[in-house]
Structure 1
Amino acid sequence: MKKDIELLCDYLEWILIHPLENQQLTLQDSEMMRLYQTIEKFVAILNRNYEITENISEGKLDSEVGKDNLYAGPLMELQSILKHLTWQLGLVANGKLDMQIHFLGDFSKTFNRMIAQLKEREQALLENAKLTEALNNQQFEILEKELQDQAEKYTQVIDSMEELRRFRHDMKNHFMCIDSLLLDDNMQGARDYIHSINNIVASSFTLETNDNYIFNALIDEKLKVASQLDVKIKKIIAINRRLDIKDVDICILFGNALDNCIDALKKVEQEKRELSITVILVEDTLSVEIANTFEEPVRMDESIIQTTKSEKHNHGIGLKNVNATVEKYDGEVNIDIKNNIFKLIVVLCKV
């Protein structure tokens, strides 16, 4: 009996140090043997609960428990809670942020606080997206209004050009009238007639003519602004037919490009101000090269020009609109910066 008790004590001490490792005992006393078998059953339950706890700690949430293992109840409840929590986290990952948990104490508070913060950030992102969309719409409306104003202005210019054409057509008749007044010694009448002709010329524009009226008017207007800055201008335009480009796209492309040139030239020393524009049509491909001298260094970020102007939120739209317009005509835009000369090269296809 005493020896059997010593064996059982040693067995219990072994189990405490070596879980999941069993020892087989052979006891002499039948009552002690029965006690050993009961202890073995209890040890088996402990080992199973140890395995369940280990699985849960590793994220394995599919353990099963026998009906006789009453001590595993809390572990099964924990496993069920973690399964439910995993399901909820999956919903959160898919953007569902209208849930809370209340069964894990401090963890529940932290989880609910995290969900609340995610909802706040989601709401902030939505508001920012709406604000960005509103700003883009506002910029589009502003641009559309500017283009409408430009179109009206260039329509007026076209009227002036038509008046100049009519004047050129009647030039011989004008000279004949002046000659007749001079022959009659009507000096005042000749002076008045010449004065009236000067008024017509002053309100007109001298520009090579073709069927691209908006293009002609825009180029003429921008180059007049450049000439007022004492810019040396070189111009080559070779277009033998009407371009298949919308007037609004002509305004966007050439208006923005030349406005950027003029802004840059204002910062250049007067004797160094140079602008060249070359526009050549070959079959259905239009090649455009606009170059200007510049002073301030041009900053590029991922092929996008960074403005040096103070109101940065209102700038940079011009070149973006140029790129968007060129894409509409299956074209390409390239920028070449060398020796203080900024060169914009555009090719438009099927025009």
Structure 2
Amino acid sequence: MAAIIAFTRRGAALGRTLADALEATLHVPARFAPEVGAEAYDSLEGWTEKAWAEADALLFVGAAGIAVRAIAPHVRDKFTDPAVVSVDEAGRFVIPLLSGHVGGANELALKVAALTGGQAAVSTATDVNGLFAVDVWARERDMVITDRVLAKEISAALLEGKPVGFVSDFGHPCPAGLTRGLAELGVWVTYRRGEGPFLRTLRLAPKGLILGIGCRRGTPMETIRAAVEEALSGYEAQSVTQVATIDLKQDEPGLLAFCAAHNLPLAVFSAAELEQAEGAFTPSAFVAHITGVDNVCERAAVCAGGTILVPKQAKNGVTVAVAGRKIL
């Protein structure tokens, strides 16, 4: 969610319009907060610190210099900083100040300009030149950029008119400006790790891997982590988006701790639901005796929406299967 701050009554009126249209929060000085139905802020420094930690985007209604000074102590990295946009109180000029691509500031600036009838002052080189922007393309498709240096090299190569290749394991159409022909530098859309199809390959990893996990009662989190790391060998860990298991394990402390540590949701299925999963699975008479179904990890991963990529791997009382969601 975006957080909007305004400093005058005129700015607050524009801020109210933008907040309603963008489903954002509005913050103004206490003396006229009730007039526009906004939240009051105590200090610009305090508001900025809080919004920086909690909001996806910060929109300043006022002079760009105010925004620049407010955010300066917090700026760290284009891949983690929120979008920051400034718009004057008349809505004439909308300036994406920070995180134009990855954070979406350019897109937000264009939305604001459309609402105010103003001009978005987008200045990023690939946009100005109408070229493919790898960070925007990846963000729009919920993919992880695995190498920041190579991402910058790709933008630089395109600006210099050099060929940049493209390969997708999922059948993505080749984006305009890239090539399926020969190139030393290129983009590979894949779940996999390792050597790519180009001399210098930027891997874009979709967030679509599912971990199916089974374990003995009382298995520690670190034991589960080790088993997962081994099963994921050759695949991008940042692509993992969910963990799945049988409902008998929904309160398993080690498993819950693993999910919490990696910010992964846990999907649970009954034995009857797992039994309905379609496919060929690795059976275990012991598991069937304990749980009522012959396989937990593979079946759970399939029930969560994946196709098995790595079949059941067993290590220290933990079983792990890796499945991938359909991307296109």
TM-score by length of 1: 0.21
TM-score by length of 2: 0.22
- Larger Rg over CA atoms: 1
Greater share of helix residues, 1 or 2? 1
Greater share of strand residues, 1 or 2? 2
